[in-house]
Amino acid sequence: MNNIIKIIDLNFSYQDTQILKNLNLEIKDNSFTSILGANGCGKTTLLKNILRLVPLKQNSIFVGNKDVSKINREALSQLIAYVPQNERVNYHFNIRDFISLGRYAKKTSRAEDNAVIDEMINLTNLEALSDKYVEEISGGEYQRVVIARALCQETPIILLDEPTSSLDPLHQSEVMRLLKELVAKKNMSIVCTLHSLNSALDYCNSSVLMKDGKIIYQGKSSDVINVENLKEVYSIDTTFVNNPYTNKKHLIIAP
Amino acid sequence: MLLIIVSLSFGTVKISFKETLNILFSNNNDIKTSHIYIIKNLRIPRTITAILVGMSLSISGAIFQAVFKNPMADPYILGISSGAACGVAFGAITSLINYIPGIWGTPLFSFFGALLTSITIYILSDRLKTGNLTLLLSGIAINFLLSALMSLMMFFNRDDLEAIIYWNMGSFAVGSYEKIIVIVPIIIICIIILLKYYRELDLLLLGDDIAKSMGLEVRKTSITLLCIATLLTSVAVALSGIIGFLGLIVPHVVRIIFGPCHKKLLPLTLIFGALFALLADTFGRSILPNTELPISIITALLGSPFFIYLLKKQKRMLF
């Protein structure tokens, strides 16, 4: 597998506080990667750097071998789509119209746009909702709508910032299952920041552990998420049992 | 069309609908010359002015609300209309306006005043980044500052007092064919450009980060839109002085009834803006015998209760 994202010695400061320190990261294509770490460790800032939503120095972030700091917004939007944390707008937007906003930068015909929108509505199981309005749907449904909007950009990468943070357990697993399916069906790479370590173990094939603006461990989720690393990153005592549903490691945190 | 004919018929001098229709569409043999003069030289330009100003201020309001992501943003509340009026008052008092050929002086000074205010507000909103309330308070502060400047100009230049008061009151009565011919192309071009930006405006509603991630050059688009909306506001002020509430209320009414999608919102805002301005002007001319009420009073009297009714009725988030 090739690297779809490569970050070399990334530093980022905000108002005299250094948030990211000499950060190096490689994301393989066709992978589902979770970025884990305590609150304030720089996870969201890292995503914003990759998306160039903050001022960026040259030669630090490469997406598909292109220097992110040197390409224009339109070109970047063809490479990476973004699902922000807790996005919730309650405008009276029809779901289909709302999803179609993802086609903004595509220079394609209306027929082609409609075909893509239909496909993404199907993929995200939103057929029954497509005539509703965004303010009428639940948090879990809204998250699927936002993912469908991101999918309409037809990018090889989607970045999601805590996509399950405000969802109940049922909708959390629904969203994570959907993301895992997308990696397989669309041959894309998905990177998401997460707080649920068990979701990372159950769904993500690779994980990255961050502490104080640095990446301290990265690799296969089941390898990276272990007792010693979690003690170091979160200062918590943990143990693992076998998850009978997945036959994978399941984390238990000491109270 | 019916409202246009009703509007042409109403006024201090009563002219029947039939007579109005005859003056407009058939021969004028049996009609009083004074009535023909009133319709053709006073009321038609006034009606056209009301339509143009109504459209310009309403669509500008829709643009300011989307760019600043603030439901209270409109040319009047942000002080952009006052900036335009201040520019004209400054030009008049310093006599600089007289150096500009033709009737371009007023629109030009109006534009510079409005542009300066717009730039100040955009820089403030960009630098402060502390949310909607700060932007609104900055706009109100700028509005007060400009009002104080106008008062100061009035205080030191009592000869021009009447002209400055006129800018503050607003009226469609001064519309003339000469002014309209100059201003119509500017308004049409601006409106056509703005109508093409419906997708960008939808994206701006989602927030800057999301809009950027979808490929929108947010800063460039916002500045372009603000410049065009400012130009529209300034030509409206050059035509009729400061008229409040149109830019605030009309886009909201359309948004409540038809939703926030700019593909529908922008054209409907133009239509409702023209209708509301025309209705307000007709009321202002006909409600009291032999007296005309200033247009701003009518827009506020008519618009505010209706707006509060709609706000109460709707449950979803406006913005």
pLDDT for B93: 81
pLDDT for A116: 94
Decide if B260 and A92 are in contact by the 8 Å CB cutoff: yes
- At B113, the amino acid letter reads G
Q: Does B14 lie at the interface with A, CB-CB under 8 angstroms?
A: no
Q: Are A254 and A236 in contact (CB under 8 A)?
A: yes
- At B130, the amino acid letter reads T
Q: Is the pLDDT of residue A87 over 90?
A: no
Distance CA B255, CA B59 (A): 12
What's the pLDDT band for A193 if we cut at 50, 70, 90? very high
Q: Which CATH architecture has domain B2-313?
A: Orthogonal Bundle (1.10)
pLDDT for A26: 92
Q: Is the pLDDT of residue A136 over 90?
A: no
Tally of CA atoms within 13 A in the half-sphere of B133 that contains its CB:
1
Residue in chain A closest to B315 (alpha carbons) equals: A135
Decide if A80 and B213 are in contact by the 8 Å CB cutoff: yes
With an 8 Å Cβ cutoff, the interface of chain A facing chain B consists of 48, 51-53, 72-74, 76-78, 80-82, 84, 87, 89-94, 97, 101-102, 104-105, 133, 135, 153
Cβ neighbours of A101 in B, within 8 Å = 199, 202-203, 206, 214
Q: Does B319 lie at the interface with A, CB-CB under 8 angstroms?
A: yes
Token pair of A254 as six digits: 């000491």
Distance CA B19, CA A124 (A): 64
pLDDT for A112: 94
> Nearest-5° angle of CA B254, CA B11, CA B33?
130
Q: Does B185 lie at the interface with A, CB-CB under 8 angstroms?
A: no
pLDDT for B300: 79
φ and ψ of A237, to 5 deg: -95, 135
Task: Quote the percentage of chain A above a pLDDT of 70.
Answer: 99
| DSSP at A220 | E
ipTM of the complex: 0.90
Distance CA B313, CA A213 (A): 49
- A41-75 pLDDT, tens digit per residue, is 999 999 999 999 998 887 899 998 899 999 999 99
Task: Quickly tell me which residue has 């238990």 as its tokens.
Answer: A252
Cβ neighbours of B210 in A, within 8 Å = 82, 84, 87
Distance CA A113, CA A93 (A): 18
pLDDT for B128: 67
Token pair of A222 as six digits: 């089941």
Cβ under 8 Å to A: B residues 298-317: 316-317
Q: Is the pLDDT of residue A206 over 90?
A: yes
Distance CA B8, CA A254 (A): 81
Taking the alpha carbons at both ends of chain A, their separation in whole angstroms is 40
Indicate the SS3 state at residue B231: helix
Distance CA B168, CA B243 (A): 8
Residue in chain A closest to B264 (alpha carbons) equals: A93
> Nearest-5° angle of CA A40, CA A46, CA A50?
160
Q: Is the pLDDT of residue A229 over 90?
A: yes
Residue in chain B closest to A106 (alpha carbons) equals: B215
Decide if A51 and B209 are in contact by the 8 Å CB cutoff: yes
pLDDT for B186: 92
Decide if B261 and A105 are in contact by the 8 Å CB cutoff: no
Distance CA A179, CA A189 (A): 10
Distance CA A101, CA A39 (A): 31
Q: Does B199 lie at the interface with A, CB-CB under 8 angstroms?
A: yes
pLDDT for B221: 94
Write the CA distances from B216 to A47, A241, A245, B21, B308, integer angstroms: 18, 47, 44, 50, 35
- A15-40 pLDDT, tens digit per residue, is 888 899 899 999 999 999 999 999 98
Helices B2-9 and B262-286: crossing angle, nearest 10°? 20
Token pair of A85 as six digits: 């944390």
pLDDT for B257: 86
Distance CA B81, CA B242 (A): 6
What DSSP letter does each residue of A172-216 carry, written as one string? HHHHHHHHHHHHHHH--EEEEE-S-HHHHHHH-SEEEEEETTEEE
pLDDT for A185: 87
Closest CA to A122 of A172, A82, A182, A204: A182
Delineate the domains of chain A, giving CATH numbers in brackets. Answer: 1-79+157-226 (3.40.50.300), 87-154 (no CATH)
Residue in chain A closest to B317 (alpha carbons) equals: A90
Chunked mean pLDDT (size 10), chain B, 319 residues: 69 70 69 73 84 94 87 80 85 80 80 88 73 71 86 76 69 76 91 96 91 93 92 87 84 87 95 92 79 79 75 59
Give the sheet arrangement for strand A66-67, strand by strand. Answer: A17-28, A3-14, A61-63, A66-67
pLDDT for A219: 93
Q: Are B281 and B6 in contact (CB under 8 A)?
A: no
φ and ψ of A27, to 5 deg: -115, 125
Q: Is the pLDDT of residue A115 over 90?
A: yes
* SS3 sequence of B212-223: HHCCCCHHHHHH
Distance CA B26, CA B173 (A): 25
Residue in chain B closest to A151 (alpha carbons) equals: B214
Q: Is the dihedral of CA B189, B195, B199, B203 positive or negative?
A: positive
| Ordered alpha helix ranges (H), B29-74 | 33-37, 44-67
Top residue of B203, B213, B268 to mutate, by most chain A CBs within 10 Å, is B213
Q: What does DSSP say about strands A66-67 and A61-63: parallel, antiparallel, or unpaired?
A: antiparallel
